[in-house]
């Protein structure tokens, strides 16, 4: 009888170990590193991080940034007290009238709108076409905007995908928003950008920029 109980106990312990190992294997590993995106402009550098909870937008932005896609594009729309918008490949050409129109064959990104990601100051969000032609609120393949308003732009919450946050250089965003603009809020002088990506330890990002994970 004692041997039977002992055997049952060992079987129970073995199964517990197996179940615990299986559960641990299912849990995704949390990376200790993250990408810092640096947008360099004539007014200075803006640094931002992108959210893991919006994986489609994060992967898309990083892919474009690392390929050099954004280099030479401009912030083609600036509205002080609101936001700055850029990332349209059309802004590389000599025709200012097509800036912001996007490319006809671009593949949009499914919306990743999350209630906890709001349009606070420095929020990075994806531009998109209006609801009447885009009821699914899918995002532009490349265009994005950064909230400049110190109070944020809460009226946009739940309507556009927020997928990142400025961690350094919000003062540069302010300077860009204040540049002279003409029709359609287009800057008189091209505000060109170059974009690079650097992978750092999250602890280092917190030390350098104060961002808390």
Residue 21 lies in a domain: no
Residue 39 lies in a domain: yes
Residue 201 lies in a domain: yes
CATH of the domain at 62: 2.40.100.10
pLDDT in tens, 87-97: 999 888 777 77
Residue 140 lies in a domain: yes
Averaged pLDDT for residues 43-53: 98
Residue 190 lies in a domain: yes
Write 114-119 long-range contacts (CB < 8 A, 24+). 114/53, 114/54, 114/162, 115/157, 115/158, 117/51, 117/53, 117/54, 117/162, 117/163, 118/152, 118/154, 118/157, 118/162, 119/147, 119/152, 119/153, 119/154, 119/156, 119/157, 119/160, 119/162
* 8 A C-beta contact, residue 69 and residue 142: yes
Residue 149 lies in a domain: yes
Structure confidence at residue 26 (pLDDT): 53
Instruction: Give the residue numbers spanning the domain of 37.
Output: 33-92+103-209
The structure's pTM equals: 0.84
In the chain, how many domains are there? 1
Averaged pLDDT for residues 23-31: 59
Higher pLDDT, 3 or 70: 70
């Amino acid at each position: 009888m004692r041997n039977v109980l002992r055997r049952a106990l060992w079987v129970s312990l073995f199964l517990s170990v197996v179940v615990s190992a299986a559960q641990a294997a299912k849990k995704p590993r949390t990376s200790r590193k993250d990408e810092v995106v640096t947008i360099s402009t004539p007014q200075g550098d803006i640094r931002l991080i992108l959210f893991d909870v919006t994986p489609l937008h994060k992967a898309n932005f990083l892919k474009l940034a690392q390929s050099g896609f954004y280099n030479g594009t401009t912030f083609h729309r600036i509205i002080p007290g609101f936001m700055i918008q850029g990332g349209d490949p059309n802004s590389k050409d000599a025709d200012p009238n097509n800036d912001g129109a996007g490319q006809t064959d671009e593949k949009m990104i499914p919306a990743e709108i999350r209630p906890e990601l709001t349009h606070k100051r420095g929020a990075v969000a994806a531009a998109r076409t209006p609801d009447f032609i885009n009821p699914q609120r899918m995002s532009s393949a490349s265009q994005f905007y950064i909230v400049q308003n110190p109070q944020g732009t809460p009226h946009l919450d739940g309507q556009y995908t927020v997928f990142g946050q400025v961690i350094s250089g919000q003062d540069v965003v302010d300077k860009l928003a204040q540049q002279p603009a003409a029709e359609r809020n287009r800057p008189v002088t091209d505000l060109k950008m170059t974009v690079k990506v650097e992978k750092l330890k999250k602890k280092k990002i917190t030390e350098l920029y104060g961002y808390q994970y």
